[in-house]
Amino acid sequence: MSMGSTSASTLPPDFLWGFATASYQIEGAVDEDGRGPSIWDTFCKIPGKIARGGTGEVACDSYHRTLEDIALLKRCGAKSYRFSVSWSRIIPLGGRNDPINEKGLQHYIKFIDDLLAAGITPLVTLYHWDLPDELDKRYGGLLNKDEFVADFAHYARVVFQAFGSRVKHWITFNEPWCISVLGYNVGQFAPGRTSDRTKSPVGESSRECWIVGHSILVAHGVTVKIYRDEFQAGDGGEIGITLNGDWAEPWDPENPVDVEACDRKIEFAISWFADPIYHGKYPDSMVKQLGDRLPSWAPEDIGLVHGSNDFYGMNHYCANYIKAKTGEPDPNDTAGNLEILLQNKNGEWIGPETQCPWLRPCAIGFRKLLKWLSERYNYPKIYVTENGTSLKGENDLPLEQLLQDEFRTQYFRDYIGAMADAYTLDGVNVRAYMAWSLMDNFEWAEGYETRFGVTYVDYENGQKRIPKQSAKTIREIFDQHIEKA
């Protein structure tokens, strides 16, 4: 078996690569130094929401191990690190008139200084799902656009002021699709609202997710304006949003309605957010299906959203087969009136099985989606802010075997190779790549059973970290592709 990637394509000399994590998934220390609870602390306490009753209370204990994490990054050869800030560490109650917690700010300032001293470039996400719980209770959180936008903008300004001079790459929101659909339609993520009364006493799946998505877009637009007006000239940084989305192949390539449904699937998943940002409107397919359940744009709001990305943040994991549904769409449908499948008409799987039912690797889909996005949005600068895989049964393997994660290593060879092909052969302007994740961590509703790390975390023995094979190989893969300056 070859050690390197099979693609001969190159990436530019200044290509930035590294690893990603998120605050609630790794930090632990939920009650320390004045941190207030987030909606995920609350959600984890509801029995049945998280596999085996997992919570982020300790997680990887990264709040106490920042130097260890930086040493891990160094050892992997990473040039950059994407992490997120916990809003409720900085403003424990979250609101614009609530007290600011100096200890929370100091924690991140020290961490960023240590990263910079180690020669690692920070990419900072402002919101990776951990809304201060008080804001959810006070006014319904993201359902209340005006309050949420004002509070988020204030939080963002506090963060820009405190560490703006040190950070050159900002991400406003991680995966608004997940926040909206999983949090307010399916109810699988905090705050868990859904019309399904077996899961939640509150929620209205057919409407709330579209309202929440709108709030996020406006908050993003307002925050980007603040950064551009007040900080960008002095700090010289850039700002964008991170959107998730997987590639779509037709279930039956001979059937035009399945072929058409593939574009519609990506529009509902990605263009929901990217079209307002790059084209100043929601996709026609969504307007057509959702009617007045999709909020309409106030001119001042869309004016802020349109043109608000300095780069496109792309999270990408896998691909699906798409089969068009016939008949009227269900009012709770968020996919675009289609089925999302893992097998095609001939019964062929899109890729091999992993620990996640939704994730089957298909690297060519990465290249195809990079091209699709580039064509639709006029070749924006793209930062891949997450890409990675779990392994079927990894958690049950003896340690020695678990550390030989050849399946994950091959995933990275194939996906990084596909990205290099997109750069070299398709003219895609991709400039950075962060693997998910630096270490095994709290995988939301899947708890700790599913591991995504290139580093093993031993949750039974003081969160000890041991690099897996993939942690060492990523550097070799990038060495192979990146042109020497």
- The footprint of ligand GBH (CB under 6 A) covers 22, 25, 174-175, 178, 244, 315, 317, 358, 386, 436, 443, 452
Q: Please, what is the minimum distance in Å from the beta carbon of residue 436 to ligand GBH? A: 5
Helix (H) or strand (E) holding 401: helix 399-402
Nearest to ligand GBH of 89, 481 (CB atom): 89
8 A C-beta contact, residue 458 and residue 464: yes
Token pair listed for 356: 């996640």
The neighbour count for residue 204, using CB atoms within 10 Å, is 17
Token pair listed for 163: 């560490």
Mind telling me the catalytic residues? 175, 386
Nearest to ligand GBH of 101, 185 (CB atom): 185
Query: Helix axis angle, 469-481 relative to 66-76, nearest 10°?
Result: 50
- Please state the separation of Cα 36 from the chain's center in Å: 23
Instruction: In whole angstroms, give the CA distance from residue 417 to residue 397.
Output: 28
Helix (H) or strand (E) holding 123: strand 121-127
Nearest to ligand GBH of 125, 480 (CB atom): 125
Q: Please, what is the minimum distance in Å from the beta carbon of residue 443 to ligand GBH? A: 5
Which residue is at the shortest CB distance from ligand GBH? 358
Nearest to ligand GBH of 128, 413 (CB atom): 128
Closest by CA position to 369, among listed 257, 246, 242: 246
CA atoms within 13 A on the CB side of 384: 33
Token pair listed for 288: 């057509």
The set of residues, in sequence order, having a beta carbon less than 8 Å from that of 231 and lying 6+ positions away, is 160, 164, 237
- C-alpha torsion sign, points 474, 477, 481, 485: positive
SS3 content of the chain, % helix, strand, coil (to 5): 45, 15, 40
Nearest to ligand GBH of 188, 255 (CB atom): 188
Nearest to ligand GBH of 69, 301 (CB atom): 69
8 A C-beta contact, residue 127 and residue 159: no
Q: Please, what is the minimum distance in Å from the beta carbon of residue 104 to ligand GBH? A: 21
